[in-house]
Amino acid sequence: MGVDQETMLEKMEKGFDPEQVIEEFEALTKDAKRVQVETLKKILKDNGEAEYLKKWCLDGKTDPESYSSCVPLATHKDFEPLIQQIADGAPYPILTGKPITTITLSSGTTEGKRKFVPFNDELTETTMQIYRTSFAYRNREYPIGNGKALSFIYGSKQFKTKGGLLAGTATTNVYRSEQFKKTMKEMQTPCCSPDEVIFVPDFHQSLYCHLLCGIIFRDEIQVISSTFAHSIVHSFRTFESVWEELCFDIKTGTLSTRITVPTIRTAMARILRPNPELADKIHEKCLSLSNWYGLIEELFPNAKYIYGIMTGSMEPYLKKLRHYAGGIPLLSADYGSSEGWIGANVNPTRPPEMATFAVLPHIGYFEFIPLRDTGAGSPDHGEPESQLIRVEPRPVGLTDVEVGEEYEVVVTNFAGLYRYRLGDVVKVVGFHNSTPELQFICRRNIMPPINIDKNTEKDLQLSVEAASKLLAAEKLELVDFTSQVDLSSDPGHYVIFWEVSGNATDEVFQECCNCVDLTFIDAGYVSSRKVQAIGPLELRILKRGTFQKILDHYVGLGCTLNQFKTPRCVGLVNRPVLQILYDNVVKSYVSSAFGKGCRVCE
């Protein structure tokens, strides 16, 4: 089974057989090492004429050893000027043999800056490959009949670069492709909303109509999905505030005046008919729910599961999603990025917190930088030299990783990225045949150090989760959170921003503040706090709706709602988001932990 065999398109012509997909995946993963060698060979052969590869003097060699000794590890910064040349229309092969015709824009939510990434048909093809693989395994456990999906998906604006290349988000590039529609149909879950609803510049209008279509087709809805769990939660939070208007539209068969885009109005007019019976039923159900518990189950009686990425920075939304879901299972989706897909969730019955991703050995060439005491350095942010033994990191191959170890992922894809440090940390938790099963841990270097602290995005998430239990006791919920490392004070300190569903007493918030400070377990942080090399943590409470403003800000920059991830640490370069945060603080608390009477210090 090799990468040279029939293409995805050819397979699709023959129709989709989930059992055959599983059989192929099993064969590929049993032979992962050889498949990786072949995949690398194909990538290097196809792109042998690219200037980037010529520069590293591979001289036609395609084996892994020559590749890793000739071509250096690189970050997006290294590729940026080359991608810019491509976007500007350079007439010679820079990164790939075949010309790149489309550029993907990453969400930009991690670092506050959107990245350009080359995109081509091969990436669409690998996307379909991963969709079909995880679907095949999912379908064994949760078979679905012919029906529809309520998919909260949005196409962003596409624009032409200076060189005339089409640019848009990765999801937009995929949703616009014919392969996507065909694959969704084959999986028996075409989106219940018409294209006019998906591809609109105003996501508020789009979301309203997704909800409306979902209710109209409620008996046919088998799956509720979006790329990330955040977007599903956001959609049902929105439902809470627009449900009466939705019911009115259904009762009267008229579309709310909030929908102003003519193409959506025309498309919705084809679907919307007066249906007082349905409107009354939904109205009654909404009134009968206690705090919207089980909303999704009530709205969609035939839904088999809720599907989206629920791991990593999406975990904080699981509690709310479970609340809305009632008895409907949550199934965590696959692992990938604008730079390409990596692994499929082939164990769909695992709870989302335990989800793992089996790497598809034929969709890219993968290397892994071990993170245990390697001094592997930072791909982008550059930790202080003194804290690291500067050694060139030595990645290991896909099948050489060790169970229990953490690694940074390095990708070589079919669209011109070579030994590209993705910046994600994963843990190997086992093997599926001979391909590793990865657990997503966090993005690397999200929180810059103040002293000798090494807190990660995951550490922040865990501390916030622990402290937010104090809110739950008050029947309040944490809507969302982020942080800032404030170096303007001496010593520097962490600032945590919380949006909460209601008001708690000062005592409760003060306790939450102390709790976040105390539950960071990183030894560097704890010792620095004890000797005052890091100042007391600050908790700032935000006005309701602040994170909606942050989302609107990113969407205004061209990010789509379905690719949005709340930035967990906002750097100074991300001035507009910091400004939104600062402008919306209503209360602030300074930690009194690590002071006199603190249980940790005494």
Contact residues for ligand AMP, defined by CB under 6 A: 106-107, 170, 309, 311-312, 335-338, 422, 424, 440, 443, 563
Least distance in angstroms from the C-beta of 559 to ligand AMP: 8
**CA-closest candidate to residue 170, choices 72, 102, 87, 110:** 102
Residue 43's alpha-carbon distances to 30, 55, 59, 338, in angstroms, are: 21, 16, 14, 18
Neighbours of 477 (CB within 10 A): 16
Least distance in angstroms from the C-beta of 481 to ligand AMP: 17
User: What type of residue is 282?
Assistant: I
Pick the closer one to ligand AMP by CB: 300 or 440: 440
CA distance 440 to 313: 10
Least distance in angstroms from the C-beta of 406 to ligand AMP: 14
Least distance in angstroms from the C-beta of 539 to ligand AMP: 26
Q: Which two tokens stand for residue 9?
A: 């398109």
CA distance 182 to 12: 8
Pick the closer one to ligand AMP by CB: 133 or 188: 133
Pick the closer one to ligand AMP by CB: 93 or 567: 567
User: What type of residue is 303?
Assistant: A
DSSP assignment letter at 146:
S
Return all residues near 159 (Cβ < 8 A) that are at least 6 apart: 166, 167, 168
Cross-strand bridge partners of residue 498: 481, 541
CA distance 555 to 551: 6
Pick the closer one to ligand AMP by CB: 528 or 560: 560
Least distance in angstroms from the C-beta of 512 to ligand AMP: 26
Least distance in angstroms from the C-beta of 336 to ligand AMP: 6
Cβ atoms of 366 and 39 within 8 Å: the answer is no
Least distance in angstroms from the C-beta of 146 to ligand AMP: 28
Pick the closer one to ligand AMP by CB: 324 or 420: 420
Least distance in angstroms from the C-beta of 563 to ligand AMP: 5
User: How many residues in the chain?
Assistant: 602
Pick the closer one to ligand AMP by CB: 336 or 348: 336
Least distance in angstroms from the C-beta of 463 to ligand AMP: 19
Pick the closer one to ligand AMP by CB: 215 or 570: 570
Residue 49's alpha-carbon distances to 54, 59, 92, 123, 190, in angstroms, are: 7, 10, 10, 20, 40
Pick the closer one to ligand AMP by CB: 104 or 514: 104
> Pairing state of beta strands 340-344 and 357-359?
antiparallel
DSSP alpha helix (H) spans, 253-325: 262-269, 276-288, 295-299, 318-325
Cβ atoms of 173 and 104 within 8 Å: the answer is yes
Return all residues near 29 (Cβ < 8 A) that are at least 6 apart: 358, 361, 432, 433, 434, 435
Pick the closer one to ligand AMP by CB: 74 or 533: 74
CA distance 533 to 526: 10
Least distance in angstroms from the C-beta of 107 to ligand AMP: 3
- Going 588 to 594 to 596 to 602, the CA torsion angle's sign is positive
Pick the closer one to ligand AMP by CB: 199 or 420: 420
Task: Tabulate helix, strand, coil % of the chain (nearest 5).
Answer: 40, 20, 40
CA distance 521 to 469: 18
Q: Which two tokens stand for residue 446?
A: 């999200």
Pick the closer one to ligand AMP by CB: 336 or 379: 336
- Which residue is closest to ligand AMP by CB? 312
Q: Which residues of 231-243 are buried (b: 16+ CB within 10 A; e: fewer)?
A: bbbbbbebbeebb
Pick the closer one to ligand AMP by CB: 96 or 173: 173
Neighbours of 375 (CB within 10 A): 12
CA distance 122 to 140: 27
Least distance in angstroms from the C-beta of 296 to ligand AMP: 21
Put the strands of the sheet holding 585-590 in their side by side order.
Answer: 478-486, 493-500, 538-542, 585-590
Least distance in angstroms from the C-beta of 526 to ligand AMP: 27
Cβ atoms of 272 and 216 within 8 Å: the answer is yes
Pick the closer one to ligand AMP by CB: 282 or 310: 310
Least distance in angstroms from the C-beta of 144 to ligand AMP: 21
Least distance in angstroms from the C-beta of 427 to ligand AMP: 12
Pick the closer one to ligand AMP by CB: 113 or 575: 113
